[in-house]
Amino acid sequence: MRLVLLGAPGAGKGTVAKMLTEIDGSVQISTGDILRAAVRDGTELGKKAKAYMDAGDLVPDELIMGIMRERLQQPDAAKGFLLDGFPRTIPQAEQLKTLLEELGIQLDAAVNLDVPREVILERLTTRRTCVQCGEIYNVKSKPPKVEGVCDKCGGQVVQRDDETEEAIAKRLDVYNEKTAPLVDFYEKEGLLLNVSATSSDEVVKAIRERLGL
Ligand code: AMP
């Protein structure tokens, strides 16, 4: 399947993407994970992106499009992909459309995960992430078996630098201003699937029904 996952930070895009990869081997492509790995490894990309990320701001479109142009052409993406956290702005969505046309690929749907703001805030402040594999935990509902250690890969499980209260508020404002307009964009493209996303299982069910999987 080839999907764009839309929704505010904390709406559950990463969790849903991981569940969907189990269905048909489509790969999760998370620009946030790619950027965090680049920051951790101290690459040129990471150096350019870090200050924007820590402040809860978006990384410039040119950097993101460079990453995605390359990533979408890697062999594993041929089976299908779940775009998690990309596109985030109208120019990114337009450039993605052109890129996919060039590659002769069509999206199946853009899924909008709709979650009330209170739920988002609660999720983000209690969320923890593995620095190594990106696995997502929650101190209340899904803690790792050993505190601070990833069940899957043994990596360190931490609170992200951009999950302080201040950065979260900024990310939600940025989402409303820059990313929420993508819902209309994909509605006009005839690709939008709106789902109430308080349960990830329900989201996966709605996607399977829409795609006939
Ligand atoms: P995420 O893990 O998707 O919440 O992304 C974490 C941070 O990475 C965001 O707050 C942005 O600073 C940056 N980022 C991730 N994806 C994008 C994107 N498509 N466009 C611009 N910035 C992005």
Beta-sheet strands, E only, within the chain: 2-6, 27-30, 81-84, 109-114, 127-130, 136-138, 157-158, 192-196
Q: Which amino acid residue places its CA nearest to atom 15 of ligand 1?
A: 32
The residues with which 192 forms a beta bridge, in sequence order, are 110
**Confidence bin at 165 (pLDDT 50/70/90):** confident
Q: Is residue 118 pLDDT above 90, yes or no?
A: no
Least reliable range by pLDDT among 28-32, 71-75, 114-118: 114-118
pLDDT at 115: 92
CATH of the domain at 188: 3.40.50.300
Q: What are phi and psi of 192, to 5 degrees?
A: -75, 135
Number of domains in the chain: 1
Protein residue whose Cα sits closest to atom 6 of ligand 1: 32
Residue 71 resides in a domain: yes
Percent with pLDDT over 90 in the chain = 85
36 lines ligand 1 (CB under 6 A): no
Answer whether residue 100 shows pLDDT above 90. yes
Q: Which of 18, 33, 54, 59 to mutate to test the pocket of ligand 1 (most atoms within 8 A of CB)?
A: 59
- Predicted confidence (pLDDT) per residue in 2-26, tens digit: 999 999 999 999 999 999 999 999 9
Instruction: Tell me the CA–centroid distance for residue 20 and ligand 1, in Å.
Output: 21
Please say if 40 is a catalytic residue: no
| pTM, 2 dp | 0.91
| CA–CA dist 156, 131 (Å, integer) | 6
**In this structure, is residue 123 part of a structural domain?**
no
The answer to whether the beta carbons of residues 82 and 27 sit under 8 Å apart is: yes
Angle of the 13-24 helix axis to the 200-211 helix axis, nearest 10 = 50
Structural domain containing residue 39: 2-115+178-211
Is 88 one of the catalytic residues?
yes
